[in-house]
Amino acid sequence: MFMTDGLYQPSLTRQPIMSATAMPIEEFVKQLDELAHRATTAFEVATDADSLDEARVQFLGAKRGEFKSLQKNMGAVPGESKKEAGMKLNAVKKTIQLAFEDAQVRLLGGAGEAAKDPEFDPTLPGHSFRVGKLHPITQTINELKDIMGRLGFTPAEGPEVEDDHHNFEALNIPRSHPARDPLDNFYLSVAQSQNNDSTLADNPLLMRSQTSTVQIRVMENTEPPIRIVSLGRVYRPDETDATHYPMFHQIEGLMVDQNVTLADLKTVLHLFATNYLGNDVPVRIRPSFFPFTEPSVEADYFWNGKWVEFGGAGIVDPNVLRSVGYDPEKYSGFAFGLGIERLCMIRHQITDIRYLFTNDVRFLRQF
């Protein structure tokens, strides 16, 4: 080896190896250490594929490589030291091999011997990897967010464990309303019994039964104008069948500004249905009743030759606006709520909601 301007350069002149005469283990180990140092240094300073291959032949060559030559000296090591010598030999070989592989990655991008293999054809397609897919419900949620985003609605999120105020009271649902029946909700009695907060007696906790709770939370902390869409899980103790499940997903839209009317609501629903279903889908609205909207409507869309129920909607009730500190004389708004599972099933012609939650990969990989 020699030095040039302070840079260490490996010598490509092969170092003499001792003949296979009697050799103390200390001398054999010393030669191995020196070989390991020179070989690893040579690989580290190699600057291209040619210099790397030249160093490989010098140190790891199968016929005349320095390691191969030094290995022959094992026969000169005394018998009681051969085990120690063998272990040292294997360790040095591994060190040199790893240094060579690291240099391959650095200079050749890991191609190494594969690039020289006559059977390796880089023009052939690579091996494909099996990758997972998003659940059809997640795919639907992402698409709905994208559609509503193009209409100017910002996604908003809220807790799935809610209190009675946000789930019912602020939405103008009186205590006598059947929607608040304990048999129609998942009230968290265990959480309440372990919490010393006395206010829970008047404001119990439950799994939210609608994503309208997100709208209340956003309005409590945001001044109009507001244009949001909330998507997420809701919970109701329904009997499981082809169209009902105790946990499902909702999308709810809310717009609050000055002079918002039913015409704005119907326009948004029409654009929403047309974008999701891919055609100019007619939408109609029918009178209905919901405690949190006045007037309230049911929205239907015409799909595959028949009218299909879309979801509930309406103009936000003045009492809801007052509960969040808005002036109903100045502001108005519309809200709508749709079942995401229903939208997903209509799009993909799924006949049973339970298919979406059985985690059967044979079913899920189709989407």
What type of residue sits at position 107?
L
Cβ–Cβ under 8 Å, residues 177 and 209? no
Q: Give domain limits for the chain.
A: 2-116, 136-364
pLDDT at position 197:
52
Provide block-wise average pLDDT over 10 residues at a time, the chain (367 residues).
39 44 80 88 87 87 83 82 84 89 79 55 78 90 95 94 92 87 84 52 85 94 94 92 92 95 94 88 92 93 88 94 94 94 90 91 87
Rounded to whole angstroms, what are the CA distances from 132 to 30, 345, 364, 366, 367? 54, 21, 10, 11, 11
> What is the CATH number that goes with domain 136-364?
3.30.930.10
- Residue 356 CA to residue 141 CA, distance in Å, equals 14
pLDDT at position 352:
92
pLDDT at position 199:
52
- Residue 30 CA to residue 74 CA, distance in Å, equals 13
pLDDT at position 234:
95
pLDDT at position 62:
80
Neighbouring-strand partners of residue 161: 207
Please give the model's pTM, rounded to 2 decimal places: 0.62
